[in-house]
Structure formats: structure tokens, C-alpha cells
Amino acid sequence: MTVPSVIVVEDDEDFRHSLLTYLTDHGIEARGAADVAGLNALWDHGPADILILDIGLPDDNGFAITTRFRAFSTVGIIMLTALNQEANRIMGLEGGADAYLVKPVSLREVLASVRRLHQRIAMVPPPSADAGETWAVDALNWTLISPDGKRIRLTGTEFRFISLFLAVPPGCVITYDEIFRAMGRGASEATVHSMESVIARLRRKMLKESGRALPLRASHGKGYSLQVRVRAKQ
């Protein structure tokens, strides 16, 4: 099994340092941020397998962060907070967190939660493609056509992203670098965060306009794959 990569978002500097040191000493690739701005900078440099989120942060809160990440990513999320009310735990878990740990908590318990969550993530098989299901791209009208014929108009950036999957089989990963080049962005602009914002909007549009989820799978640290065939409209 691969080594899990973790980003710890915690504004208590001493606790963050202790947790990062402990995780690193036990074989975890761990990075830390004090706020959401720091998290975004780390994520732009390279996504993680798991986020450990404090709820009370200077520039946002863990509930909102979880909602945002769940719109585009399958990253594992562990909430680590002093809020121990049942309503907060339910809000966190129903909002998409995989685990909810209440401070004070031992470093050993956090480590065990990271390892357990990483095992669960690794055991989830990729969704299999339905051999009879094909999506189509209408290049003339910048439109994606669902298997049942519903047409979804795309922006230029969305069209260039989806078109990348025309030449590859279902399940093939398109790398971040390939996506950036297709979007026509230079290195200074080509950040993972901006790319994932585009993908999050595309997911929401697909679900709203077609009634179907786009069968797009994130591959941690690599890129994205579509689990169905995509062909050019004749």
C-alpha cells in the first residue's frame, strides 16, 4: 500500500507542529497550514489523500471547507475540533467528513484514524465502465450529450477539458499537466485549485441539466479519468 499523504489545517501552531512531527515520524507524508489560504497553496502544489481539518479557522471553517472539497474531490476528511456537541458531529459527518475527532485527542488516535481511513480509500475499487454507455461531444456547438440524449452546453474551458477524453479508453487518467495545456494556461496560472474549480462547476451543471452525475473519477496526485466512453458526434 502506498504511503498516505496528509494536509493538516490547524491554527494552533504548537499542536500543528506536534501532529506533523508525529505523523512524519510514523511514515506519513504530512504538510501543515494555519488557515484556508495556506491549505489552498499546499493543494495547488499537490493534492493529498487525507485532510485533517480544524473547524474554527481564522479565514473560514471546517464545515465550509468540507462542502467545497466534496464538490470536486474524493479526498478523505478527518475533522479535528473542540466542538463536541452532537449537532456539530452530525453536521460534519453529513457534510462529507469521514471521521470526527474531538479535542483533546491523543496523537496515537489521530494516526490510527489516518491509517484506517487510508486503508478504506485504497480498498474502494474504481467504478467500472458500462460497456453500453457512451457520451458524445458535439464540437460544433460545444455540447456534451448524455447517453439518453440530453444536451449540455459547455464553456470553452469545459469543452477543452472534456475533449481530452475523446482519444483515450474509459478509465484512462488524463494528467494535470495535460489538462493545464488543454486549458491554454501558462505555468503561473495553471494551478490545481483553478482547475478543480472548473471541474466542480462542470459536475454541478451536469447533475442539474442532465439529472446524471458525470462519471469522472479523481486520481490522487495524478489527474482525472472518465469511466465511460466519449466519442465525437458524427
Tell whether the model's pLDDT for residue 15 goes beyond 90: yes
Strand partners, 80: 101
Residue 17 lies in a domain: yes
In a domain, 20, yes or no: yes
- The three-class DSSP label of residue 213 is coil
For residue 176, what is the domain's CATH number? 1.10.10.10
C-beta of residue 8 within 8 angstroms of C-beta of residue 33: yes
pTM above 0.95, yes or no: no
Q: What is the pLDDT of residues 190-203, one digit of tens each?
A: 466 677 778 888 88
Label residue 128 by pLDDT band (50, 70, 90): very low
Give yes or no: residues 215 and 161 share one domain.
yes
Q: Is 35 found in the same domain as 13?
A: yes
3-state secondary structure (DSSP) of residue 81: strand
pLDDT category at 132 given cuts 50, 70, 90 is low
Question: Of 103, 123, 143, which one is at a domain's C-terminal end?
Answer: 123
Q: What is the pLDDT of residue 220?
A: 59
DSSP classification of residue 126:
P
Q: What is the mean pLDDT of the chain?
A: 83
Instruction: Kindly state whether residues 116 and 140 are assigned to the same domain.
Output: no
Distance between CA 227 and CA 232 in Å, rounded?
A: 16
Let me know whether 141 and 102 are in one domain: no
106 and 190 part of one domain: no
Task: Look at residue 13 and tell me whether its pLDDT is greater than 60.
Answer: yes
Assess whether the previous peptide bond of 104 is cis (omega < 30° from 0): yes
What grid cell was written down for 74?
474524493
| DSSP-assigned letters across all residues of 181-202 | HHHT--TTT--HHHHHHHHHHH
Q: pLDDT digit string (tens) for 29-54?
A: 999 999 988 998 888 777 888 999 99
Residue 71 maps to which CATH number? 3.40.50.2300
d(CA 43, CA 182): 21
**Calpha distance 50→89 (Å, rounded):** 18
72 and 140 both lie in a single domain = no
Backbone angles phi, psi at 110, to 5 degrees: -65, -45
Q: Are residues 172 and 93 in the same domain?
A: no
- Domain of 153 in residue numbering reads as 134-232
Contact of 207 with 142, CB cutoff 8 Å: no
Residue 16 placed within a domain: yes
Strand stretches in the chain, DSSP E: 5-9, 29-33, 50-53, 76-81, 99-102, 134-138, 143-145, 151-153, 173-175, 216-219, 223-226, 229-232
**What's the total number of domains in the chain?**
2
Do 215 and 179 have their domain in common?
A: yes
Percent of the chain with pLDDT over 90: 29
